Structure formats: C-alpha cells, structure tokens
Structure 1
Amino acid sequence: MASTQRFSGYPLAKEGPKTAYVPAQDKNPPLRGWSLIIAAKLVTYFPSVAKATWGNAKFGCVKDIPGLNEYDWRLQPIVTPLIADGVVQSKAEITSDLYERQPDDLAGRFYSAADYHELFKSKKLTPLQVAETLLPLITRGQDPPAKYESAWSVTKEDLVLAAAKKSTERYAIGQPLSVLDGVPIGVKDDTDVEGYISHMGRPFDPSDPFFKPATSTIWPVAQLEAAGAIVIGKQVMHELGSDISGCNPRWGTPINWNNPLYYPGGSSSGGGSAISSGLVPISIGTDAGGSVRIPASFNGAYGLKPTLHRAYTMKSSICVIGPLAATANDLAIAYRIMTAPNSEDPIQGSFALSIPPSPSAKKTIGIYRDWFDQASPGVLNVTRKAIAYFTDKLGYEVVDISIPYVQEAQYAHSAWALTEGIDHHNSHAMDPTRPLTGLNNCNQLLMAVGSCTSGTDMIKYGQLRGLLMEHLAFLWKKHPGMLIVTPTAPEAGWLIHPADQAYGFSDGNITIRNMMYIWLANSTGCPAVTAPVGYVDPEQGEGKLPVGLMAMGEWGAEEQLLAWAKEAETYVNDAYEGGRYRPQEWANVVKIAKTAE
C-alpha cells in the first residue's frame, strides 16, 4: 500500500533509461611523499595541468549522456515530507523501548545511553565521575600522551565538568532531563559548539580570524545538550572533510581500534574511533559523501545520514548532520532528539515527523545485483549472509532493481562535492587571493582540480541528479516502502601506508571505489543507515575488520531505516557466529570510573 504522506519537491515517478553497468577502470595515479608535493604545486600553478587531471578523473563524462537536456535541473535535491493540515509540529518521542538495556552477558557489548542512565539513576555512578574518568584518557598535551587522544582535537575541561556537575545535581534530586542526561558524546570538528573552535581538520593558526570560538551551538547539538548530553570534546576529522580515509598529518590520524593498521575512515574519523574504543556511545558527524557511514562501517558502529536538511539546513545540497552510535537504540535516540523542529529554520522546521513503519507493512529489499556484486569477496560473503537472515527470518522480499548511470553519477557527485568544498573553504580563507595557502598537499591538489568544474558542468550534474531522483520515485511507486540495500563500502577496511602519516596521500582510485555505494543518498537527498553485520580477517595486524550493510530509504523514511538497523543489530548479536566483536583495547569506562571511587 502506497504511503499517504504528502511532500514538497517530490520528483515525478519516471523510469530512467535502461543502461548496462560496466565498472570503469579509473586511472588516477596514487600520490604520496614527494610525488604528492610536486603534483600539488603543478596543479596549483599550472591551470592546464589541473584541467588535464580533472579530465582524467572523468568529471566531464556527464555531458556525453544522451537526452540529459530533457530533465530539469536539481541543484538542490530538497524533498520535504509535509506536516498534515491541522497538525501541530512536535518533537519525536523517546519511546520506552529505547530505554531497554542489552543483556549483560552479550558478546561484544558496548555501553549505551540506557546503561549510563540506569547507573546514574541508581546512584552507582555519577555523570561527574564519568567525565572525570574520560578527560585524562582523551585530553591532548599530557606527558605521556593520553591513550585515546588521537580521536579528539580539543577538550574544554571547565565546560565538561560544569555540565557534568549540573547533570549530577539533577540526578541527585531525581529530575534527569532525559535518557541522555549525563551521557558523554563527541562532536566533529566542523560543527559549531559554543566555546570551541571549529578547525575543520586544519592546524590552529592564531592569526586566522576564522579560528575563533563559536558563540553559539548549532541546532542539532544544542538539542542534545538540552536533553542533558555532555559534549566531552571536539573530534578529529579529515582536513576539510575532503576524503574518506581519515588520514590527517596535522592532527594525527585517529586509531581504528578494531585493527590499528587500518584507517578509521572519514571524514568523521574521530567519531568512529571514539565509538570503537568505547569512550562515548554517540558521536555527531557530517556526511557529504559517506562521512558518517564509512567511519561507522570501518569501526563497527551504526551511522545515519538523514534526509537532506532534516536536522539542519546546511549551505550544501549534499551534506547533512547525522549521528554515529554504538547501538541501534542510541542511533534512534540521537536522531529523534537532534531533529526537533526549529521554528527559525523554514526548511528544517517544516519537516513532518518520520513515522515508524506498521508491523504489518510489507518488507522489501531492492538490490541492483550488478552494482552490489562489485564488492570484495569477503564483504560479499558477510553481506549476503545478512540478507539471507532478513529474508529467511524476518520476512523481507528481495526484488531486483536497476539504477541508470551509477558510474557517471558517482563522478558527478565527486566533482559536486569538491565544488561545494572549494566555495566553503574560499569563503573562510584568510587570504582570498591565495585560498589554498596553509592547506595540506592533498587538499591543494583536490581543490585546484575541483576548481576546473564549470557552471555548465554543474547544470549537467543537476540534470543527472534529476534523472536519478525521478527513477528512484518510480522504484518506490512500484515497490512502496522498499529499502535499497548495498554493502556500505566494497572493502572492509583501508590499510595504512606508514609514510602517509607525514604528508598525507591522494589515491583517487581507492577513494572512488570505497564511495561506490554511499554517494547515491547524498546526491539525491535520501536517508541511509549503516549497521555492522559481520567481520573479515585482515591482511595485516591483529583484530577483525567490521563489514557494514547499508539501507537507503525514500525521503523522510528515517524511522523505517532505524527499525531496519535494529533488526540488523539482532542479527549480529544473536545470529552471527561469534556475535559482535569488541576491540581488545576497548575502554571499560564504567569499570575505570568505579575503580577510581
């Protein structure tokens, strides 16, 4: 049965052209060390070299798609589920099921918001004790360095302790604000929190006028703080959020505690690392090209990319603010609180609440097999087993679908992301005449190449986006409530090259490959969620590499995706052989805090 939800901006349901999926062989040379430095200078100072590199990256291939001029431009894929007439907008409810704690003897158990809430209510622990336990583990500048500091750029001890004391006082009188009261969270270093500088992964420069503490906290994070959550600090990110490995030579690369020889994924790399180490149950990230979902996947966590502008209207047509979490319940709690309607944001404030699906609703998984099957053998083995569980145990039906021009549209998304990134950086550059000064060599290269994108190219990218959105609307009309399922990333991890820690690196082939599934949700504005569904053995080092399975839903279908993530959690906890994996260096924050009493 089709949904009765009304939308603004919903695309025409029109099937796109039937095109064969032929994976392209990308030929972007990997650059590191001196080759990276030289290439960065060449593309910066010689526009012809930049343009040739742009062409080699296939950013211009979209103009060759026949019939594209028949489609309307979609420069912003804004599709808004509208509030019904006569209904007063309200906040999403934190329902009783989200207070449920996982069994204490569960394999690979992570602490959740419900765990902390119960400990605080029973006075077995206080928020202040937890904060005082965490700060020495993450704060930079100590000798020797704090064990888990790689995930954290800045902590403000005075702000953290003040918030923790207030939360402790509320519990003492039996008046906690919510299940999140006193729960520690982290926030990506491109997201404003009052009193903190948003470095965006760049090194601090006291002469830069843009490096000033924020005077207010951005709406989604402010809602979490209003619910009592304690921002323990800002988390390290890939510089400018321009790639997905998480490598950052300036701040240091956050550790993937599942296997430290592999990257944590980016660009919300610190958030993924902090969750895998057990320090926080929730991190807030941003996602313009998988930057919430890839680090969630690489670190064995849950990550949600909401519908475009659902949490906050950003100056972007692809980027959203979304949560990473240690459990599916915490992902839902964070999402529901941080998306409270903002009356001062006319787009975000007009969103109708996302509604959980009816238990009797038909469950459908759509798979584009030619695309899905491009993942590595290990990832395919894990994800296929998970899908078999969804079909055999949970009643999902799998339908075969196809999506036109996925290869070309991914190149278009990459070029679009770079163009938005250039504009955002240039508007914050200390010297507008030399905006690339001070960026690492990787970003000098990417920004110089991305600047070759013309206005005509952007129009063509927008037309291809329009084609895709119409095709997706066609698929959802044919299969109401369908979730399009893929691996989150085609590889379980990204092995670290030791030399990259000095200068960074650029490997467009691996970047494009690891983004091969996640870009579609960004380009079309759809919501998507990733959940860990198993593990593969690494090529090097000790520990396991998590594998994420991703579901993308119709615009406004966040609650359906969260319900699916909960089902995926049941699979990895109860049905997957060995259950969920917890890293050896996982920090038992509760035990440490109790020991310190």
Structure 2
Amino acid sequence: MDPEQRFAGYPLPREGPNTPYSPIRNKNPVLRGWSLIIAAKLVTNSSFFANATWENAKFGQAKNIPSLNGYNWRLDPMVKPLIPDGTVQGKAEVTPDLMRRQPDDLPGRFCSVADYHERFKSGELTPLQVVKALLPLISRGQTPRAKYESAWAVTKEDLVVAAARKSTERYASGLHLGVLDGVPIGVKDDIDVEGYVCHFGQPFDPHDPSFKPATETVWPIAQLEAAGAIVIGKLAMHELGSDVSGCNPHWGTPVNWNNPSYYPGGSSSGGGSALSAGLVPLAIGTDAGGSVRVPASFCGAYGLKPTLHRTCTMKSSICVIGPMGSTANDLSIGYRIMSAPNHSDPVQGSFSLSIPPNPTAKKIIGIYRDWFDQASPEVLNATRDAISYFTNQLGYDVVDITIPYIQEGQYAHSAWALTEGFDHQRSRVADASRWASNLNYCNQLLMTMGASTPGIDLIKYGQLRELIMEHLAFLFKKYPGLLILTPTCPDAGWPIHPGDQAYGFSDGNTTIRTMMYIWLANSTGCPAVTAPVGYAEPTQGEGKLPIGLMAMGEWGAEEQLLVWAHEAETYLNDYVKGGRYRPKDWADVITLAQNDTN
C-alpha cells in the first residue's frame, strides 16, 4: 500500500496479546434425515434447546476474554482508503496486459474473457451464437434435463437474446464497448438484477410478495452490463448463504465438475460449478464467510473477496460482492469494472482506487505457522510447494507472525454471521412471525441460533474484532506490503454423503473447519484472494480435487492481491506437474457456438 495513502477508520496499530494456539475439538452433532428434522423442531420451538445448541457451538467465548475491556467496540470493520483532496475519482483501467490470451497449447486451458473478445472482434464468432449455444446447456425445465442446469437458478431467454443481439450489432458496426462486450457471465441468486427474482436459494412461491422481480440492478452488476457483459442467468446457491458446502435440497446441488462426488463449496456454489464446467469465464458472488473463496477453491477457480463496501455498500458488516474467474486476468477485469465508483453512494463512491504495488517494492509473506499447519497433509504439501516458489523464484521474504484469539475470533464471526442472517431473513419476509416457514430444516436450526445471540455477546464480538484489527494494522505497519498466506480451505474437497439431497444436512464441525482460514478477512473487512496451486487425489469418485492458496492483504490492497494471483497462476501453469486440471465434462462453449449452424 502507498505509504501516503490516507484512510478513514484505520485501526490503531497496536500489537495484541500473545495468545497460544491450542486447537479445540468441536463437538457439534452431525444431523441428517430424521435426526435433522427432530433437531430443527426442538431448537425452533424451545428456547432451552436453542440456547443449549448456541452454547455448545462455543459462540459465547468472547465475553470470557478479560483483555477485551481495553478495546473499543468495532461493530462495522469498514476501513476506507480515501480519495486525495481535490481530485475526482475515475474508473480503473482495463489495461492491455489483461486482454492477452493464454497460449493455445497451454495444458488445462480454460476459455477466458480475452478469448471471446478476440473472436467477436474478428467476426469469427458473435455473442448471439454464444448465448444460443449456452441456453440449451443451462436452462431448467427441459426434457431431458440440461446437463449443466444445476448451476443455474433461472435464465430469462428473452433478456439474454436481446442483450446478445445488441452486442452483436455493436461488433458488426465497429462500436463494441470493450473487452467484456458480449461475454457471458453469471450472477448469484442473492444479487439484484433487473427483471430477475432473488430466490436466495429458497423454493419459489409466486404468491409470496418477497419473491418479486428486482426493479433495479445493483451497482457492480450494472457496471458489468454497461461494459457489455451478458448476464445469462442467476446462479444457484446454498439456501440463505448460510453454509459452505453448497448442498441445496430444493434446487439441487450444483455439480463440482472436477469430481462430481464432492460438493462445489458455497454459498456461491453455482458460480463455482459454472466456472469448473467452462460455461462462463466470470461469475459474481457474495462473500460473508468465504462464500466466494470456498467454491472458487473447491472448483479450481480464482476468487476475490474485496475490502468491505468496495464494490457497493451492503446492509452487512461482513458481506461483499466479489468476482470469481476462470483465469487471473478474468478476475482482474471483473474487479476493475465492477468496482467503479458510484458517486451517488457516499460510502462506496469515496473509496480511492486500489493501486498496483511498485514492482521494486519489497515482497513479504506472513505465516502463522501453528494455524497454517492445521491443514491436511495433501493441502500442506501443495501450499508449501507454492510458497517455496514465491520465495525461491519471485524473491518473497517469509516472516513468522501470530494473530491473537484466532479460534475465539472464528466463533465470534460465525455467531455474527448467523445473527445477521436471521435479521435479513426476518426483515425480508412478509410476515416476520413466520420467518422460518419456507426454510429448509438446516436453516430453521441455524437461524434460530442466530436469533439466540445476546446483545452483550455482540458487543464483545465487536471488541474482539477491534483487537484483531489493531493487531493486523500493527503487522501491516511493521511489514509494509505484507500478504498473510494460508490454505484457502484446510481440506481438499468436501465429499458428498449419500442421501443429503433429501433434506440437506448439518455438520457444524466440518463447516467450522472448512472456514478456519477464510473468516478472518470477513470479520476484519480486509481483502483476500484465492488461487489454485495444486490437486489432491480423491477418496471417492473420479477426477481431481483442487487445492487453493489464499492471500489476505491490507485494506484497499486488491490490486496487490491480483498481482499475487497472477504469480500463482504462473506457478500452476508452469511449475505444477501436469499444469492445470480441466474436468473431462468441461464444455468448450466457443467451439460449440462456432459449430452451431442455427
């Protein structure tokens, strides 16, 4: 980060207490089938069982930390890099280096934004041909079922075809809007797009007034559409975004095409599935607890969680809208376009542009080894090999760091996320007293736990957040340009259990473990990016299990993280044995479109 950069809300750089990391064994029962149904009924109808479940999840630990009394409450972790006085903030430029196509003979090559753009410009292909090839592959309601429909909640053919016709006409007249014009993208089903209903992963009820089409497209998606991107549909998601497996018994679970016997990750599960299948080069998700980064990691893609409120101001202290991409270039293009300043939004519109680091700046990786080393052996092997590349080939220095109360902080984040989730659900439905009426059993249980959070615990969560943010500020000041590296997830994939599609399931222990690294960026508002760096062999099914490495940076350091993601991509393509893995059921959309004579 530029040392002259000014911030609003920057924490006091203060080293936190040196607390030992002693992993705690979680004892949340795994609930499936009738045990899940019975538990949901008990918890939602009995405050005793609700409070007991909340306590068993260790959500009340923060109030037992005496050192929190010396910290202020931080109820919103917004830290905003400020625009210099007297300047008007413009848009980030999509630079020529982001428009370069990867070599055609690159192993495991995925189609990128640049691939579409080059063919559109040459007249070899049109956006209309692309959407006509895609719609039969993804649209629900066909007989037989569309092969890739599980990634999509709904597509509106009339809107998609109309947008493709306009883009095709622009290219024909030499008036295209740029590299994203005519490129198909997907948008998660909790993000407003004009004309589309947000289902939030819930079953659609046409008589429920909460299920009504959006009358306005949210800012970051509007910027992508203004650049010519074609939203070909809303992407399926884990119901309410409340877990990170991606299992959805109502809509069906999106397929992880790397190995269909494993979950795609969530809650932006449709985005991960669509990217792994090659259907789109860019998907937009939301991330309140890793919901962009977990599916990107499980599905072998790239995902960016921006600084809080960077792309738009949301009614959340943890959730952001961020891009998922097939390549690091796609991720950068999506981020730069969707983060354009909205001058009618006094929060988002006053962010200064993220600035790429000076090429001569010192490169530093921070590793909290006791925390990092909790990952599985195959994940540790892949991520350590990648870090060796960064140090030996790219000149990064590694420093050992610690972060205080890392486990208590995760429990606090989990409870905070459920409390926000309950409020969102209750405020969205027509009858607040019937907030659970259309939820699956898992969310009846989880949202009741969110409703059980006492006010004093929220205050203590805020103090713990401030403590950790001050410690991070201390680290960022001590080591300018620091990137904190961890595995994205501690295990390579989440195997599907037979029968989960009937009711869903609740496995809090695996959820907490899967989120053990990603929660920190949400709780503190920092940006973070995940990139694939290797693969593991599965214990079931056929295919590979992608392994992600994650970098978290200082507030406003998105461009530094994107540079790092490009470096990680070079490592994957050029140094990992076999290079990038491409699923056997990957759809070559460009070839399909070119062969379509209709």
Quick one: which amino acid aligns to residue 158 of structure 1? D
Query: How far apart in 1 are the matches of 2:292 and 2:377?
Result: 24
Task: Tell me the residue number matched to 2:584.
Answer: 584
Task: Tell me the residue number matched to 2:468.
Answer: 468
Query: How far apart in 1 are the matches of 2:243 and 2:351?
Result: 30
Q: Once the 2 structures are TM-superposed, how far is the Cα of residue 434 of structure 1 from its aligned partner?
A: 2.0
Q: Once the 2 structures are TM-superposed, how far is the Cα of residue 443 of structure 1 from its aligned partner?
A: 0.1
Query: How far apart in 1 are the matches of 2:413 and 2:20?
Result: 20
Quick one: which amino acid aligns to residue 153 of structure 2? S
Quick one: which amino acid aligns to residue 386 of structure 1? A
Aligned counterparts, 1:389-408, within 5 A? 389-408=389-408
Contact 1:2/1:477 (CA < 8 Å) preserved in 2?
A: no
| SS of residue matched to 2:36 | helix
Query: How far apart in 1 are the matches of 2:163 and 2:189?
Result: 20
Task: Tell me the residue number matched to 1:371.
Answer: 371
* Cα deviations by residue, 1:407-443 (Å, 9 ceiling, x for unpaired): 0000000000000000000001232112111100000
Query: How far apart in 2 are the matches of 1:12 and 1:457?
Result: 23
Aligned counterparts, 1:5-16, within 5 A? 5-16=5-16
Task: Tell me the residue number matched to 1:166.
Answer: 166
* Cα deviations by residue, 1:470-522 (Å, 9 ceiling, x for unpaired): 00000011100100000000011000012100000000000000000000000
Quick one: which amino acid aligns to residue 177 of structure 1? L
Query: How far apart in 1 are the matches of 2:351 and 2:563?
Result: 20
Query: How far apart in 1 are the matches of 2:130 and 2:545?
Result: 29
Query: How far apart in 2 are the matches of 1:91 and 1:438?
Result: 41
Task: Tell me the residue number matched to 2:424.
Answer: 424
| SS of residue matched to 1:394 | coil
The reply on whether 1:146 has 2:174 as its aligned counterpart is no
Query: How far apart in 1 are the matches of 2:285 and 2:433?
Result: 31
Contact 2:420/2:450 (CA < 8 Å) preserved in 1?
A: no
Task: Tell me the residue number matched to 1:66.
Answer: 66
Query: How far apart in 2 are the matches of 1:227 and 1:596?
Result: 26
Quick one: which amino acid aligns to residue 328 of structure 1? A
Task: Tell me the residue number matched to 2:196.
Answer: 196
Indicate the percent of aligned positions where both proteins have the same amino acid: 74
Aligned counterparts, 1:46-85, within 5 A? 46-85=46-85
Task: Tell me the residue number matched to 1:502.
Answer: 502
The reply on whether 1:4 has 2:4 as its aligned counterpart is yes
Query: Which segments of 5 or more consecutive residues in structure 2 lack a partner in the other structure?
Result: none
* Cα deviations by residue, 1:317-360 (Å, 9 ceiling, x for unpaired): 00000000000001000000001000111000000000000110
Query: How far apart in 2 are the matches of 1:495 and 1:558?
Result: 32
The reply on whether 1:451 has 2:451 as its aligned counterpart is yes
The reply on whether 1:314 has 2:314 as its aligned counterpart is yes
Aligned counterparts, 1:502-541, within 5 A? 502-541=502-541
Length-normalised TM-score, structure 1: 1.00
Query: Which segments of 5 or more consecutive residues in structure 1 lack a partner in the other structure?
Result: none
Query: How far apart in 2 are the matches of 1:435 and 1:253?
Result: 23
Task: Tell me the residue number matched to 2:233.
Answer: 233
Query: How far apart in 2 are the matches of 1:84 and 1:428?
Result: 38
| SS of residue matched to 1:548 | strand
The reply on whether 1:177 has 2:186 as its aligned counterpart is no
- The number of equivalent residue pairs is 597
* Cα deviations by residue, 1:523-579 (Å, 9 ceiling, x for unpaired): 000000000000000001110000000000000000000000000000000111100
Q: Which stretch shows the higher mean deviation, 206-215 or 516-525?
A: 206-215
| SS of residue matched to 1:433 | helix
Quick one: which amino acid aligns to residue 404 of structure 1? P
Length-normalised TM-score, structure 2: 0.99
Query: How far apart in 2 are the matches of 1:433 and 1:164?
Result: 44
Contact 1:2/1:480 (CA < 8 Å) preserved in 2?
A: no
Query: How far apart in 2 are the matches of 1:454 and 1:397?
Result: 44
Contact 1:272/1:296 (CA < 8 Å) preserved in 2?
A: yes
Task: Tell me the residue number matched to 1:107.
Answer: 107
| SS of residue matched to 2:286 | strand
Task: Tell me the residue number matched to 1:266.
Answer: 266
The reply on whether 1:206 has 2:206 as its aligned counterpart is yes
Query: How far apart in 2 are the matches of 1:572 and 1:3?
Result: 32
Contact 2:120/2:171 (CA < 8 Å) preserved in 1?
A: yes
Contact 2:8/2:81 (CA < 8 Å) preserved in 1?
A: yes
* Cα deviations by residue, 1:187-217 (Å, 9 ceiling, x for unpaired): 0000000000000000000111010111110
Query: How far apart in 2 are the matches of 1:401 and 1:66?
Result: 23
Query: How far apart in 1 are the matches of 2:571 and 2:433?
Result: 54
Q: Once the 2 structures are TM-superposed, how far is the Cα of residue 3 of structure 1 from its aligned partner?
A: 1.6
Q: Once the 2 structures are TM-superposed, how far is the Cα of residue 178 of structure 1 from its aligned partner?
A: 1.0
Task: Tell me the residue number matched to 1:38.
Answer: 38
Contact 1:308/1:317 (CA < 8 Å) preserved in 2?
A: yes
Quick one: which amino acid aligns to residue 538 of structure 1? P
Query: How far apart in 2 are the matches of 1:396 and 1:334?
Result: 27
Q: Once the 2 structures are TM-superposed, how far is the Cα of residue 2 of structure 1 from its aligned partner?
A: 6.7
Query: How far apart in 1 are the matches of 2:310 and 2:178?
Result: 22
Question: Once superposed, what is the RMSD of the aligned Cα atoms?
Answer: 0.7
Query: How far apart in 1 are the matches of 2:102 and 2:475?
Result: 36
Q: Once the 2 structures are TM-superposed, how far is the Cα of residue 86 of structure 1 from its aligned partner?
A: 2.1
| SS of residue matched to 2:533 | strand
* Cα deviations by residue, 1:87-132 (Å, 9 ceiling, x for unpaired): 2110000001011000000001001110000000000000000000
Aligned counterparts, 1:255-404, within 5 A? 255-404=255-404
* Cα deviations by residue, 1:364-405 (Å, 9 ceiling, x for unpaired): 000000000000000000000000000000000000000000
